[in-house]
Amino acid sequence: MSEVTAAWKINVFRDKSFYTPFNMICGVILIAGGLVTLLRFTGGLASVTNLDNNYPWGIWIGFDLLAGVALAAGGYVTSAAVYIFGMKRFHSAVRPAILTGFLGYALVVVALHYDVGRPWRLPYPFIMQQGTTSVLFEVAACVALYLTVLFIEFSPAAMEWLGLRRARRIVVKLTMILTIFGVILSTLHQSSLGALFLIAPSKLHPLWYSNYLPVYFFITSIIAGLSMVIFESAMSHRYLGHKMDDTHKKEAEGVTLGFGKAAAFVLFGYFSIKVMGIAAGNHWNLLATNYGIWYLVELLGFVGLPCYLYAVGVRDKNIKLIKWTSALTVLGIVLNRFNICLIAFNWYLPSDQKYFPHWMEIVISVFLVTVGVIIFRFIVTRMPVLYEHPDYEAH
């Protein structure tokens, strides 16, 4: 170790500002996550999970992957609104949304390694697979391609930071084609994640099972994307406000109101087709069962209520209400994915055979979210994400 490195380390660890509550909590989570990661990749799934033959998919798929992909939808929703539909007043929301989307998808791929194991086999879907008609192949191809698209879409911010003018000029010219490509890929794989469950009509409770699951997943991804942009903007405003320029601060209210209005309308549409779904399956009688009550909690508490609260927030221009509603909606999306993947899955099994995540599974999920937050903070405090770089024109 060189003397300079040693001196830097001593200074960092002696500096009192290093021991903030945020750093301390993150440090503990990272250490715990690192240890469980070691256990997972040396001892196998059985050493850290409660997975079995009835439940080969646990929270690493239900939360990290299904909810993670939905919540990372803000990238395509925002860039489509700004570049395809020409809503330039939301331009300041594009970079944070794309960064959130990129980190979300990157962590989805990392989380998948925990579940699948053997990371060196990541390219297998493309070189050794059972056929291109597999829904999982489509998901793998779209996620890989969309992750690449998000990386290129975000790269101008990194290039401005590094001073790579010529490269930035080339990438900026690709903005429209990348946005179109991103929307197509997102439409495909967001719906395909719902289509995965079409293979298990007898395992998923009839209230949640539907031929329209791919449509439900796609529509909820739009709701999740809109809500995550509002939620992320609220968090950035609160904790990274010093990094925002005047344009971002001025536009933030308009973004919250505009996205809140869109979310309210899409939630209304989603609520309507869910009711039509009950009618199409003639499942009214199931609403009086325990699972039916839980279904109503999801439908009324996490779809109907946010829809109404968003609408009231937009009407009254109540930014605080819209921000809190975005958190409720995000929670609702996570609950929906949990219901489909875990709670209403194998619904007929006795409770002692039902899956409940091992504490180490929860540690890994918290670990991955924490890694995402730390990388987000690292990038936002260095690159022009929440402010326009003075030397470059906005694109």
Partner 1 sequence: MENEIHTLQEFYTYTKGVIYLLIPVILAGTAGFWSFLTDRDKK
Which residue ranges make up the site for partner 1 (CB under 8 A)? 261, 264-265, 268-269, 272, 275-276, 279-282, 311, 314-315
Which CB, 123 or 269, lies closer to partner 1?
269
Residue 57 DSSP code:
-
Q: How far is the CB of 263 from partner 1 (least distance, A)?
A: 11
Q: Which is nearer to partner 1, 261 or 377 (CB)?
A: 261
Beta bridge partners of residue 345, listed in sequence order: 204
Nearer to partner 1, 209 or 367 (CB): 209
Residue number with CB closer to partner 1 (87 or 375): 87
Question: Minimum Å distance from CB 334 to partner 1?
Answer: 25
Give the shortest CB-268-to-partner 1 separation in angstroms.
5
Contact 249, 268 (CB under 8 A): no
CB of 329 to partner 1, least distance (A): 16
Region label for 345, one of left (φ > 0), alpha (ψ between -120 and 50) or beta (otherwise): beta
Minimal distance, residue 280 CB to partner 1, in Å: 6
Tell me, rounded to whole angstroms, the distance of Cα 32 from its chain centroid: 23
Minimum gap (Å) between residue 278 Cβ and partner 1 = 9
* Helix, strand, coil percentages for the chain (3-state, nearest 5): 80, 0, 20
CA distances 229 to 9, 246, 263, Å, are 36, 19, 11
Which residue's CB is nearer to partner 1, number 20 or number 272? 272
Q: Residue 80 has which token pair? A: 């489509």
Task: Count other Cβ atoms within 10 Å, centred on residue 223.
Answer: 28
- Whether 318 and 312 have beta carbons less than 8 Å apart is answered as yes
Please state, in angstroms and rounded to a whole number, the distance separating the CA atoms of residues 188 and 178.
15
CB of 137 or CB of 265, closer to partner 1:
265
